[in-house]
């Protein structure tokens, strides 16, 4: 019983330590944690001691933790055990201490040998990179520091711990010496760098590297060049075309010029008008009119000149000095200041790349690619050589890469192989204000590393609003401000709140169209449905206006829109016409449309939120934040002064909107985050230094799930299974499914299913006018009521059989783009299978495949109720089969089902459902289900 309690405490990280928190909030959180502990303990009591595959490390640390978290234990038995443990701990400490003193007295020669051996094994471990034998990051760092301290100890011979004339104890003295030494080293190196006036530019590497590498570079470069020859969208490569287009924008600007001014006196009177009040002007800064030229090929000299016109240029030396003087720097710069392209170049020119790479993270793939392409052009080198980028499915870097752009998730993955980012001298986290999940985790990790690696420079760039917060988080790091280049934007609010924002938005569009001078309009909506409705109404209303009014070109844009149609928004507006772009949040950050002069902002967006208690995600319409509203407004001031019409009152803006959008980490399922952190050796998650910690309940839920999946043992440590799971960039349940497929010898099928599941639920395309056809096509894959998982497998395999035919996709109402992505994911998973030593085996046995799925998704089981609904087994909750499922209309209704996810829309729906035999639950997850769970009390006889 006692052991049980200790286990649960350790598993929960430092839940017990929480009482040291601040005020009543901590109390509340502790109480919550305690109820979870109780629940957890119950679960653990039903456990057997079978999966003891622990990667032993930090044992003493754990003991300390267990001791502290168990304070206040009641029984005599517990106290005795506690006593024993304390003795053990003290024994450990004694041993360690004597070992340390022994080291000090041993002859130097012997010690050198030992150190050499240690160094070699360090190097081995570091370079070995063998996933399963990876050394934990913390252990590695500790060892490294220890070694350094020992070296310092050698130097102290007179036993006088004087540092700058102050007498210190040994520990303090060593620490200071350690820090000072590294500081001196860094200073010397950078001084050396400063004194060198010339930097050797490596030659082209044409002879080096494999053929593939070479081919890849040229393809990447070609892509970049081709992108500027816009308009040629290859229907066979939608995704690529889309990305090409995005890259093209790095050098191209589309602007509508010289449009005819619409005469001020017009005879149209719309039924309703909205009164706007101009309330404020968002100031423009540095409004120099030198937009990037549209010329494609430019001499290096011309590019060099262009670089000098960027707003950041006058701050170059000041910035470099700040970087030199401070380890961590917060940089505030508006879009257009050139920070993303210039800072890494400045750092390179200042010699920082001589002792490691300059890494720069971006939240989006396209941004990483296009910026890298731009910078390589500016530096006059081949993309992929000195300047490269690294995104999922595409690593365009080489050994010679000095400046590396990458997605933030990619850097996170790099942590797994390189626990202290040894190959980097500077890490720049760009667009930090967006607070993506990966960025938030990176913050914690880089902050930690910076404490050990004093030679590592850290740059965090953010928008103005929360710079202070970043500074506070990074130990009061100095803030460096760079002005952006933006035109002023007039902000207008409505006089009174609008009841129907959709209607109000349409009225405003017409109002602007009829009364304001030329310039395109951008309207923000929440989703596809709204956009389609708005499009219809607008078309209807403009139809009757005849030729008295200029043409209104309506362009919808949302992520699920087929790419050919998306390209339409980038076409220049014909003379005399006006373009109105109806967009989702995609236009807020992900893509930039030039020529926009008016923005209409209804103030809403769809936001995902997660309920950890029942494990359900929901997508709800919610008011945007002030930061978001300003971002939207700024979209109108890119090519000239703009106007933003907000469909809410100034009062609402100031008093009702939040300052910032809730960071993603606080509203998402954390299972995969927790697995990643655990595999980085971070065991104490509740005390991990998050900038904004996620809800305690969500963390506990994630731990609970990972424990059930066998990824964590009872002490909350990563097991071998967990270590293998962490290799896959997927949700842990999908990863578990893959790991389990080894046992059922169907890994080939399972990775196809995992790939299909991971790309989401928009594989089937369903145009309104062809609904019946689309439905029939979809149902073809469901013959035999095999369930949605197997149906997805059928879709993938059929596509493969047609040699990945685009035509086949059109015929079957399937989105080619998504299928291509699934193929990429599948290829990646196949590669990773080798890494975790799972053979690719194919099995025709459907039951085996379903069992493998069950191994990952057993917590997601539901049983039929008398009334035809389903109820989830473990955390009782009434749910329904989603109508898009192949099992939605099957008769007889399956009694037991397994679902991929729960989603709250109009009802609580299960998406992607497969029939299940209850005996599998007992067979596969005996630790999770007991007989009474699958024993039927609902009136149906259970078939076991």
Partner DNA sequence: GAGCACTGC
Residues in touch with DNA (CB under 7 A): 363-366, 391-392, 407, 409-410, 412-413, 436-438, 526-529, 558-560, 584-586, 590, 605-608, 619, 672, 729-730, 758, 760-762, 764, 766, 771, 775, 883-884, 888, 903, 905-907, 909
Nearer to DNA, 63 or 884 (CB): 884
In the complex, least distance from residue 201 CB atom to DNA, rounded to whole angstroms: 29
Nearest distance from C-beta of residue 754 to DNA, angstroms: 11
Q: Which is nearer to DNA, 140 or 558 (CB)?
A: 558
- Min dist CB 686 to DNA, Å, is 22
Q: How far is the CB of 625 from DNA (least distance, A)?
A: 12
Measured between alpha carbons, how far is 424 from 28 in angstroms, rounded to an integer? Answer: 42
Nearer of residues 474 and 728 to DNA, judged by Cβ: 728
User: What is the C-alpha to C-alpha distance for residues 416 and 427, in angstroms, rounded to an integer?
Assistant: 16
Nearer residue to DNA within complex by CB, 464 or 533: 533
Q: Tokens 């051996």: give the residue.
A: 117
Give the burial class of 147: count Cβ atoms within 10 A of its Cβ; 0-12 exposed, 13-18 middle, 19 or more buried.
middle
CA dihedral 422, 423, 426, 428 (to 10 degrees): -100
Nearest approach, Cβ of residue 117 and DNA (Å): 35
Alpha carbons 43 and 37: distance in angstroms, whole number: 10
Judged by CB, which is closer to DNA: 397, or 584?
A: 584
Taking alpha carbons only, the member of 695, 635, 604, 655 closest to residue 489 is: 635
Give exposure, 899-908, as e/b (b: 16+ Cβ within 10 Å). Answer: bbbbbbeeeb
Q: How far apart are CA 230 and CA 207, in angstroms?
A: 33
Q: How far is CA 821 from CA 236, 518, 758, 804, 813, in A?
A: 13, 40, 10, 12, 16
Q: Identify the H or E element spanning 276.
A: strand 276-282
Comparison of 728 and 744: residue with beta carbon closer to DNA: 728
Q: Give the shortest CB-407-to-DNA separation in angstroms.
A: 4
Least Å distance, CB 147 to DNA, is 31
Euclidean distance between CA atoms 518 and 551, whole angstroms? 11
Instruction: Give one DSSP letter per residue of 903-918, joined into a string.
Output: EESSSEEEEEEEE--H
Strand 520-524 with 596-601, pairing: parallel
Nearest to DNA of 66, 365 (CB atom): 365
CB nearer to DNA: give 137 or 365. Answer: 365
Least distance to DNA, CB of residue 825, Å? 8
Within 13 Å and on the Cβ side, how many CA atoms surround 751? 24
CB of residue 481 to DNA, shortest distance in Å: 28
Q: 328-333 and 479-482 as β-strands: parallel, antiparallel, unpaired?
A: parallel
Q: Least CB distance from residue 673 to DNA, whole Å?
A: 9
**Which residue's CB is nearer to DNA, number 320 or number 360?**
360
Q: Is the dihedral of CA 446, 451, 453, 456 positive or negative?
A: positive
Whole-number minimum distance, CB 608 to DNA, in Å? Answer: 3
Nearer to DNA, 20 or 762 (CB): 762
User: Distance between CA 244 and CA 241 in Å, rounded?
Assistant: 5
Chain centre to alpha carbon of residue 316: 31
CB of 40 to DNA, least distance (A): 26
Q: Which is nearer to DNA, 40 or 558 (CB)?
A: 558
Residues 6 or more apart whose CB falls under 8 angstroms from that of 927 comprise 46, 47, 48, 708
Contact 297, 432 (CB under 8 A): no
> How far is residue 587 from each of residues 66, 407, 594, 725, measured CA to CA in Å?
50, 19, 11, 35
Pick the closer one to DNA by CB: 729 or 787: 729
């Amino acid at each position: 019983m006692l052991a049980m309690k200790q286990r649960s405490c350790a598993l929960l990280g430092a839940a017990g330590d929480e009482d040291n928190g601040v005020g009543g909030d901590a109390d509340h959180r502790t109480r919550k944690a305690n109820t979870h502990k109780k629940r957890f303990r119950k679960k653990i009591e039903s456990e057997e001691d079978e999966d003891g595959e622990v990667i032993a490390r930090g044992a003493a640390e754990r003991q300390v933790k267990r001791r502290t978290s168990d304070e206040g234990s009641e029984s005599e038995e517990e106290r005795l055990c506690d006593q024993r443990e304390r003795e053990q701990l003290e024994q450990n400490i004694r041993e360690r201490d004597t070992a340390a003193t022994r080291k000090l007295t041993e002859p130097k020669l012997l010690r050198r040998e030992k150190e050499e051996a240690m160094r070699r094994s360090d190097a081995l471990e570091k370079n070995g990179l063998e996933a399963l034998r990876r050394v934990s990051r913390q252990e590695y760092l500790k060892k490294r520091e220890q070694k350094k301290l020992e070296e310092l100890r050698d130097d102290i011979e007179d036993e006088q711990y004087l540092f700058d004339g102050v007498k210190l104890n040994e520990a303090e003295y060593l620490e200071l010496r350690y820090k000072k030494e590294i500081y001196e080293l860094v200073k010397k190196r950078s001084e050396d760098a400063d004194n060198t006036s010339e930097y050797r530019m490596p030659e082209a590497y044409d002879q080096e590297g494999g053929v593939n590498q070479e081919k890849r570079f040229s393809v990447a470069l070609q892509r970049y060049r081709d992108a500027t020859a816009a308009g040629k969208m290859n229907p066979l490569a939608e995704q690529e075309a889309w990305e090409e287009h995005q890259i093209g924008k790095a050098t191209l600007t589309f602007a509508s010029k010289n449009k005819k001014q619409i005469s001020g006196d017009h005879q149209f009177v719309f039924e309703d008008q909205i009164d706007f009040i101009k309330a404020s002007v968002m100031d423009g800064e540095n409004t120099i009119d030198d937009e990037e030229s549209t010329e494609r090929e430019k001499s290096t000299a011309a590019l060099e000149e262009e670089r000098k016109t960027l707003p950041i240029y006058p701050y170059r030396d000041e910035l470099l000095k700040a970087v030199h003087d401070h380890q961590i720097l917060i940089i505030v710069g508006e879009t257009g200041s050139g920070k993303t392209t210039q800072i890494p170049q400045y750092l390179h020119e200042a010699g920082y790349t001589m002792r490691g790479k300059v890494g720069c993270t971006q939240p989006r793939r396209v941004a990483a690619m296009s910026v890298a392409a731009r910078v390589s052009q500016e530096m006059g080198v081949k993309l992929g050589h000195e300047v490269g980028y690294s995104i999922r499915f595409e690593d365009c870097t080489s050994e010679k890469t000095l400046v590396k752009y990458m997605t933030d998730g990619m850097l996170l993955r790099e942590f797994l192989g390189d626990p202290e980012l040894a190959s980097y001298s500077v890490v720049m986290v760009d667009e930090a204000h967006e607070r993506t999940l990966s960025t938030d985790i990176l913050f914690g990790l880089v902050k930690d590393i910076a404490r050990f690696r004093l030679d590592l420079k850290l740059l965090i760039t953010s928008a103005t609003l929360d710079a202070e917060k970043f500074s506070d988080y990074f130990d009061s790091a100095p803030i460096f401000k760079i002005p952006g280049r933006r035109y002023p934007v007039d902000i207008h609010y409505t006089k009174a709140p609008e009841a129907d924002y959709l209607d109000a938005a349409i009225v405003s569009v017409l109002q602007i169209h009829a009364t304001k001078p030329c310039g395109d309009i951008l309207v923000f909506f929440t989703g596809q449905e709204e956009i389609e409705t708005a499009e219809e109404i607008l078309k209807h209303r403009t139809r009757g206006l005849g030729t008295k009014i200029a043409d209104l070109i309506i362009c919808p844009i949302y992520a699920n829109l087929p790419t050919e149609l998306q390209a339409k928004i980038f076409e220049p507006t014909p003379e005399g016409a006006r373009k109105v772009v109806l967009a989702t949040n995609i236009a807020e950050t992900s893509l930039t449309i030039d020529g926009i002069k008016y923005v209409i902002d209804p103030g809403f967006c769809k936001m995902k939120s997660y309920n950890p208690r029942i494990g359900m995600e929901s997508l709800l319409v919610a008011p945007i934040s002030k930061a978001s509203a300003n971002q939207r407004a700024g979209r109108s001031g890119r090519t000239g002064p703009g106007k933003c019409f907000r469909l809410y009152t100034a009062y609402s803006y100031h008093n009702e909107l939040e300052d910032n959008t809730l960071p993603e980490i606080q509203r998402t399922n954390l299972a995969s985050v927790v697995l990643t952190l655990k595999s980085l050796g971070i065991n104490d998650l509740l005390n991990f230094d998050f900038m904004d910690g996620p809800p305690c309940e969500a963390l506990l839920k994630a731990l609970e799930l990972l424990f059930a999946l066998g990824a964590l043992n009872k002490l909350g440590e990563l097991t071998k299974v967990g270590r293998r799971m962490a290799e896959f960039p997927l949700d842990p349940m999908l990863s578990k499914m893959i790991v389990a497929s080894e046992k059922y010898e169907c890994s080939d099928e399972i990775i196809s299913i995992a790939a299909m599941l991971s790309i989401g639920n928009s594989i089937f395309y369903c145009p309104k006018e062809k609904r019946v056809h689309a439905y029939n096509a979809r149902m073809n894959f469901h013959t035999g009521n095999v369930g949605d998982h197997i149906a997805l497998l059928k879709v993938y395999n059929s596509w493969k059989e047609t040699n990945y035919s685009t035509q086949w996709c059109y015929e079957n109402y399937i989105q080619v783009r998504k299928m291509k992505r699934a193929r990429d994911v599948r290829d990646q998973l196949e590669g990773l299978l080798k890494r975790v030593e799972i053979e690719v085996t194919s099995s025709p046995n459907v039951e085996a495949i379903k069992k493998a799925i069950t191994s990952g998704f057993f917590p997601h089981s539901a049983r039929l109720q008398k009334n035809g609904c389903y109820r989830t087994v473990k955390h009782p909750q009434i749910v329904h089969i989603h109508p898009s499922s192949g099992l939605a209309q099957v008769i007889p209704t399956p009694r037991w089902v397994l679902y991929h996810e729960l989603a709250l829309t109009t009802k609580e729906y299960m998406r992607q459902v497969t029939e299940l035999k209850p005996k599998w639950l007992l067979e596969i997850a005996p630790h999770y289900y007991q007989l009474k769970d699958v024993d039927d009390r609902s009136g149906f006889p259970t078939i076991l």
